Structures are given as structure tokens and as C-alpha cells.
Amino acid sequence: MVKMRNQYLAKVQTNDWVVVHDPDEVFNEGFCSNVRGLCHKAKQQGIVLLLINSHDTTFQSDGSEDSSVSDFFKNLIYRKAAGTYYEGVGEVKEVHETLIIPGTVTTVQLPKEKYWYQHVKYWHEVWERACRNVFLGGGGNNAGTRNPSWKPLRDLCDRLGLNTWPKTRDYLRKGDIDMELKEWFLDNNCEGWDFDHEEMEAGRWYFEFLHPEEATLPDGRSWKPVFEIPKGHPAEVMRYVEDTYMQVLGRHAEQEGKEAYVKAIVDGTLKREDLPQILKQSPEYTQKVAPPGESMRLNIPVSVDLKLSEDLIVQALMRSTTFWEKIKPRLDIGKYLEDQVEEVQWAELQRWFYAEHPTLKAFAKKLGELSHA
């Protein structure tokens, strides 16, 4: 939780190195043996943040173990600059957080074949945390009221006297819950947005792990999760964008960029297959694929004066809703007109346009003249 993280960070002195891990994150022995040397070397090189690769292990309900090496590198090792803090994300800002390091943040990814952390979880813990996230912040990236099901859930819980997560958790564990609450779980059993996914997992925690004996209601209806999302559905596109960020940049997508790309793909102004190449043209990707040991700048929130380059401007535009809704259509229409006339005519059209400031009717007439020239 954001508040908890800032409480421990307040106990750290400026310029001390911070090594963070959650209870379900365990560093490998190679990292534990060398952590002091890694931090000392990083300090000598002016590096502020070390990113470490995640190995994910989930223990399934049948006792099997599902393990994988992810493309994700997490910001678990850093030197505390003055003013460093954690900030909540999304609308509610209760559960998920981002690390804010003021100043110039120089970063390296530790070699993934040598250093990593194991993220260990059980299937039912994932479902319980999903339920917690939905209750506290609306699910997903603290969606809050952007999730239309969240306020009805909280209103219902308030009527039942469930105004904190511990009370709600214990109430669900006990079972035989209010029928309205069961109805809420049944109404939110479908895959979709990230908060829809967590709502579905909340229902799975109650009906599949805690109380399978309650999975069939008195009227004969049964709990059944729905996993399929039609291709092209905004939620399916959102998942594609998130997966592409992870595959190309090795990190989760920031909210504004994610929403802008989803809207562009859904509206048809961007082909989904073009997104990987767009991300690969970003300065962040260039730094990511730099030779091992080189320092690189990553896209984390910092307070710093920036020297704007052409690449940086283009990257910012690509993540802007204004770009996709207003700027890009204007560029595309202008390019279309340019392609329809000769080079000399295009130069003549530009001079005439800025000199005359024509009406739409006059502009159409001029295009007619050029097309017959």
C-alpha cells in the first residue's frame, strides 16, 4: 500500500540504498551475495536505479507449479535522493503505486540470467488480492468510479456494515453472505477491462475457493466465469496494448499512453500491428537495447528540466489523445492533398492559402482548378 511504503521510506537516510521486496518476492542467492557490491559499483557509476528481472511461480489448485521468466524488470533497488516518495496511481490511489525519484535518474537492468527475484503465489491468493483491489480501489489501476460496478458494491457493503477491507474479507470467508452481494458477483463474472478481470477473480475466490457449496443459488442459477473477449472489443485491445508494452519495453503501460493507443486502434486511426514498431522507435526502447552495462534513462516520473529532442516530441505525441483525435487527422488530410497535386502546384497552393485565408467554397474551387491544370 502507498501509505505503508512511504512510512518505511521515511526511515531511510538521503543517499542510502534501498532494497525493497514484498512478502511474496524472494531474491535469488546470486543477488543476495552481491547486493552490496552491486550498489557500491552503481554509486561509483552515478547509477540511481537498478531494475531486476521477475521469475513468476504460481501454484495451481491441482498442486502443479506454473513457472516462467517474464520480460518484466522491477524497480526494487535504488538510491534514495532527497524528495523520493511513492505516489498512488489511478483515481483512488489506495493500492498500486509508482516510485518518484526527483532529478536525473540513471538506470540499468541487472543481467537477467544472473540476478532475479522469484514472485511466488498461490492461485487463491491471486483471487483474494483481486477482491481486495476491487473493494479498495475499484480494481485494475485503481479505476474507482471509472468502473461502473464499484460504487454499487461499496454502497451495498456499507449497508451491510462492511466499511473496511478486513471486515469484508472476514465476512466473505465466513460464508452465507447477503443475496444482493451474491447477485453482484454473478453480474460481474465476465472478462473485460482490467477491473472486470479482478471482479471475476473476486467471484472465483468466493464461489470456487471459499464456498463452492454456495455456487448454485436457490433459483437454480450457478456461478460460472466467462473468459472470452471478442477481438476488437476495447477491453481486448487494451490487453493487446498492455502485452505489447511488456514485450517491447519490458514494463507496464502508463495510463495515458495506454488509453490513447487503445482509442486510436478502436477508432481505426492506428493499425494494431503498427504499435510494436512505434514503441521500438521510442528513445526508451533504444536505451533498453543498449549494450549491457551502459546506463539508460527509463520513463519513470521525475522532476527535471528536459532538453526536447525530435524523438522525445514524437513519443509524447504518440501518447496523446489530442494527437490521435486532432493532430494526426489534420496531417493525414494535408498529406492526402499533397499527394494529389504536382510539387509546383502544392507550393502554389500553400502560398495562395496563407495569402488569401479562403473560405471553404473558395478552397474547393482552387482545388478544382489545380486538378484540371
Extract the C-alpha cell encoding 287: 536505451
Q: What is the pLDDT of residue 291?
A: 46
Cα–Cα dist 113/75, whole Å: 17
Q: What is the pLDDT of residue 295?
A: 40
Burial label for 341, CB within 10 Å (0-12, 13-18, 19+), is: middle
Extract the C-alpha cell encoding 215: 455456487
Taking alpha carbons only, the member of 278, 363, 261 closest to residue 314 is: 278
CB 324 within 8 A of CB 270: yes
> Which single residue is written with the C-alpha cell 483481486?
130
- Which residues make beta-bridge pairs with 353? none
Extract the C-alpha cell encoding 102: 526527483
Q: What string of pLDDT tens digits covers the 373 residues of the chain?
A: 899 999 999 999 999 999 999 999 999 999 999 999 999 999 999 999 999 999 999 999 899 999 999 888 999 999 999 999 999 988 988 888 889 999 888 899 999 999 999 999 999 999 999 999 999 999 988 999 999 999 999 999 999 999 999 999 999 999 999 999 999 999 999 988 889 999 999 999 999 999 999 999 999 999 999 998 888 888 889 889 988 998 888 887 877 788 889 989 988 999 999 999 999 888 778 766 554 443 444 444 443 343 444 455 555 566 566 666 777 778 878 888 888 878 778 888 888 888 888 888 888 888 888 777 6
Cα–Cα dist 53/114, whole Å: 10
Q: Which string of b and e fits 98-110 if b means at least 16 CB within 10 Å?
A: ebbbeeebebbbb
Cα–Cα dist 87/97, whole Å: 5
pTM over 0.75: no
Cα–Cα dist 176/45, whole Å: 59
Three state DSSP letters for the chain: CHHHHHHHHCCCCCCCEEECCCCCEEECHHHHHHHHHHHHHHHHCCCCEEEEEEEEEEECCCCCEEEEEEEEEEEEEEECCCCCEEEECCCCCCCCEEEECCCCCCEEECCCCCCEEEEEEEHHHHHHHHHHHHHHHCCCCCCHHHCCCHHHHHHHHHHCCCCCHHHHHHHHHHCCCCHHHHHHHHHCCECCCHHHHHHHHHHHHHHHHHCHHHCECCCCCECCCECCCCCCCHHHHHHHHHHHHHHHHCCCCCHHHHHHHHHHHHHCCCCHHHHHHHHHCCHHHHHHCCCCCCCECCCCCCCCCCCCCHHHHHHHHHCCHHHHHHHHHHHHHHHHHHHHCCHHHHHHHHHHHHHHCCCHHHHHHHHHHHHHC
Q: What is the pLDDT of residue 318?
A: 60
